A and B are shown apart, each in its own frame.
Chain A
Amino acid sequence: MPRKKAFILIIAAVITAVLFCACTKAAEQISSLSQLREKGTVIAVSTNTPESKQIIKDFPDAVIESYTDIYPAYQEVASGKITAVISQRTGMQKAIENGVSGVRLLEENYRENVIAVGLSRKSDIPDLKRKINKFLQELRDDGTLDDMYERWVMQKDYTMPDIPEAEAPKQTLTVATTGTAEPFTFYVGNELSGYDIELAKRFAAWLGARLEFKVYDWGGLLSATQAGDADCIMSNLYYEPEYEETTDFSDPLFTLEITAMVRDKGYGAKTDPFWQSLRSSFRRTFITEKRWRLFVSGIGTTLLITGMSILLGTLLGFAVFTACRKGNRTANAVTRFSVWLVQGMPAVVLLMLLYYVVFGSVKIPGVAVAIIGFTLICGASVYERMKAGVSAVDIGQTEAAYSLGYTERQAFYKVVLPQAMPFIIPPFKGDITALLKGTSVVGYIAVQDLTKMADIVRSRTYEAFFPLIAVAVIYLILEVLFNFIVDRLEPAFYPKRRDPDDILKGVQQK
């Protein structure tokens, strides 16, 4: 007990020291972009944005940090870990209004980005580029485009107007978006909303097409249109000449101001008491806009993928093991190669290969690809576990069965397998936990699992701490749940744990 107390004290001391260092780091107020040129400044930018490329030339002495999702960097500017974030003025403005404190935006603009719609060259919709430009021209002419910009970006009026859906649509418009760029594409509750979403709805109605959204990371957008998984990208996409090698662009929608967010030196330390800020974090993470529904749907997806993969993977592993058991040379060679292939590469690479290459030209939902991918992973490990388990059973058991007249098949199922189970189950339990955790990478193939949902929530609350802790806790609970289920099933696989009364069921004992 005293040792435990001492341990907690040490941890507390370390945390305090880190916070103290972070807070007392000297910094002068930055009021112009030129001040960022000094050596030692740290600048955060969004990956693959035009500014991220220009910045390297303009600020050669600065350390540039690239973020896939920029919002966690805001807090780090406030704490002084990062000198500045260079990003869209509107997005950062919105973050400050939503509660990011201790930061401010510079007056001057760093540059302006042209925003357009990205278009797939493999789209099923003929003449897509001409159509969207015609549509945009109509919208520009009747003032709708300006009105949309005014409402979403300037007024922050987040009411989605009622746009009638196409009646009896003959085609589908698949729109790739990120859902993490307020006010253009973001989640209200578990519904997508924003400027780009409205635009997509209007375009689908104009085309007379059914509308379908697919949510990707920033990095996944271009691969999606390139592979033909989506017809177009509506996600506050910057026009970049180099993207034109693989993707077409519509006429510009509007231009965005890019500026820097820096630490506001005049702002004092947060005065919120700990519990109060925790409560407000909880409210913003779960209650506001019914965000708990995002978590619930994320848990559902994670459970679906994990559960199905375990089920199908176990069947697959068992089937493959049975096929290879008698030592057919070809079957064994094929299996060894496949197992090597599946186990040798990171799960995320396997998933992306399946999604973009193997099923690249087939319309198949990401969840199905995730289940296929993890079924392969689970199957490979079940196969290996069975191989190890079965070889751990003494050969004498098989010989004894043979000598009694059992066939090879009977000997395996009645004598060897039941005795191999105690060697298979414990490592299999570990595999299940690993699989559950492993599914957290499915966000890469546009599946919105628990981890991805936490990302989405973080992009709205501008908070890293609470949603991450929540997700960690949920994963731990799910692990306990899976282990509980396996524990319930376990006695069925341990013949020695049977109820002694069941052993001679149906026999009249003397």
Chain B
Amino acid sequence: MIELVHLEKKYENSTPLKDVSTIINDGDVISVIGPSGTGKSTLLRCINMLERPTGGQILLDGVDITAPGYDVTQARRRMGMVFQSFNLFGHLTVIENLMAAPVDILGRTKQEAYETGVELLKRVGLEGREFRYPDQLSGGQKQRVAIARTLAMDPEIILLDEPTSALDPAMVGEVQSVIRDLAGSGKTMMIVTHEMSFARAICNRVFFMDQGGIYEDGTPDQIFDSPERELTRRFVRKLRVLELFIENAKYDYISADKEIDIYCLKNNIPARTKYRIRLTMEEIVQQLLLPQGDILPVRILVEYSGEEEKTTVTISYSGAGFDPADGENKLAYDTLKKTVADISYKYDSEAELPNSVTVLI
């Protein structure tokens, strides 16, 4: 069991981990997901003490491994680490990579280490490659050797830091199947990954990381199907969001238009969709809402999901209940209605901006 207590990692210019507290139970298979730069790798490297935390504690079965006098090699022997860049020992053959640590650290005989090594190579599908040097292997093979090297130490916990990110797409599958096999073996595992469907398939728990810590922690079904928090939802749906505010009637239409342009360009949004987003702006905001008066401020939220290629524009505004469908300019409303998939209106007196029109493009 690993217990993180107010863990903090601060660098000179950034603080990837502000305050992380959680418990990792034996047998947990945890996927760590989240946008880049949110401390996913840092969390893993702290647990393995490759990065020394600047605050808080890490308790491994109740023992604080961050304590000053503690011999971290003891903790590291119980944890295996698989790196994004493999880090196989370049001067040793495949079999020696597997034998080195058991012989040097666990005091196994060469014979024992060799036999375990051959066994593990078979397990990761690399029998017969014993005498290759790492630079004679493909990326996928290297990563499989690296996993076998970790297993040779028989660790209780395996930490995988983006194990497939440096691989050709064609090789991702072979490594994933080895990891999948491993996930079923009952060992505690933590894997940092960007492969959502893979993460979902192998784990029983997901850490979504953002804002300097574990932003949401739950089962894969919770996190991927019904996330509770906004940033998680945006992330798992792969939502790209643009938010615009209009605070007075003479707002800068040109620059708002430009922002939409940049947003579409950045997120590879098709030209047709871009045209429809603009049309929504033009018809609802310019033609229907602004002439109405007394509706400021207006908030425009554009959400584009790359996964589903779905775009919604939500326009919220204040004032008394007003459905644009009842507006004077029928022509504008009908033009838009014909172009987009759906327009719906909702009035919620509790909300800050009670009116909201949702346009599904």
Residues of A within 8 A of B (CB): 394, 396-397, 399-407, 410, 414-415, 418-419, 495-496, 500, 503-504, 506-510
Contact = CB atoms under 8 A, between A and B. Distances in A.
B77 A405 contact: yes
6 contacts: A397-B89, A414-B104, A495-B91, A504-B95, A507-B111, A508-B111
A414 B90 contact: no
Interface in B62-111: 73-74, 76-77, 79-81, 83, 85, 87-93, 95-96, 100-101, 104-105, 110-111
Contacts of B89: 397, 400-401, 415, 419
Contact of B87 (A396, A406, A410): A396
Nearest to B93: A503
Determine the main DSSP class of A at the interface with B.
Answer: helix
A510 B90 contact: no
B50 interface: yes
B40 interface: no
Contacts of A414: 100, 104
B87 A404 contact: no
Closest 5 CB pairs of A and B: A403-B81, A405-B77, A400-B87, A495-B91, A396-B87
Contact of A397 (B74, B90, B104, B111): B90
Given A402-B76, A404-B101, A507-B114, A500 B91 contact: no
Nearest to A494: B91
Contacts of B133: 496
A399 B76 CA distance: 11
A177 to B, nearest CB: 56
Contact of B91 (A405, A406, A419): A419
B149 interface: yes
B153 interface: yes
B48 interface: yes
Interface string B125-160: 000000101000000000000100110010000000
Contacts of A399: 50, 81, 83, 87
Nearest to A393: B90
B114 A504 contact: yes
Interface in B167-207: none
B90 A404 contact: no
Interface in B208-242: none
B101 A405 contact: yes
A405 B101 CA distance: 8
B118 interface: yes
Residue among B50, B85, B101, B146 with the most chain A CB within 10 A? B101
Contacts of B73: 402, 405-407
B111 to A, nearest CB: 6
Contacts of B131: 500, 503
A401 B73 CA distance: 10
Nearest to B75: A405
Nearest to A410: B104
Interface string B34-78: 000000000000001010000000000000000000000110110
Contacts of A415: 89
A509 B114 contact: yes
A143 B87 CA distance: 88
Nearest to B51: A399
Contacts of A419: 89-91
B105 A405 contact: yes
Contacts of A509: 114
Given A399-B81, A410-B105, A414-B100, 10 more contacts: A394-B85, A403-B76, A405-B73, A405-B101, A406-B104, A414-B104, A503-B93, A503-B131, A508-B111, A510-B115
B85 A396 contact: yes
Contacts of A496: 91, 133
Contact of A405 (B88, B110, B146, B153): B153
Contacts of A510: 115, 118
Interface in B311-335: none
A403 B79 contact: yes
Residue among B90, B111, B115 with the most chain A CB within 10 A? B90
B309 to A, nearest CB: 38
Contacts of B90: 397, 419
A166 B73 CA distance: 71
Contacts of A410: 104-105
Contacts of B114: 504, 507-509
Contacts of A508: 111, 114
A495 B133 CA distance: 11
A419 B87 CA distance: 13
A500 B150 CA distance: 24
B91 A402 contact: no
Residue among A404, A407, A415 with the most chain B CB within 10 A? A404
A38 B114 CA distance: 91
B312 to A, nearest CB: 44
A509 B118 CA distance: 10
Contact of A404 (B95, B96, B115, B149): B149
A11 B50 CA distance: 64
A419 B89 CA distance: 9
Contact of B110 (A396, A495, A500, A506): A506
B92 A495 contact: yes
B175 to A, nearest CB: 17
Contacts of B87: 394, 396-397, 399-400
A510 B95 CA distance: 13
Contacts of B76: 402-405
Interface in B222-273: none
Contacts of A402: 48, 50, 73, 76
A399 B91 CA distance: 16
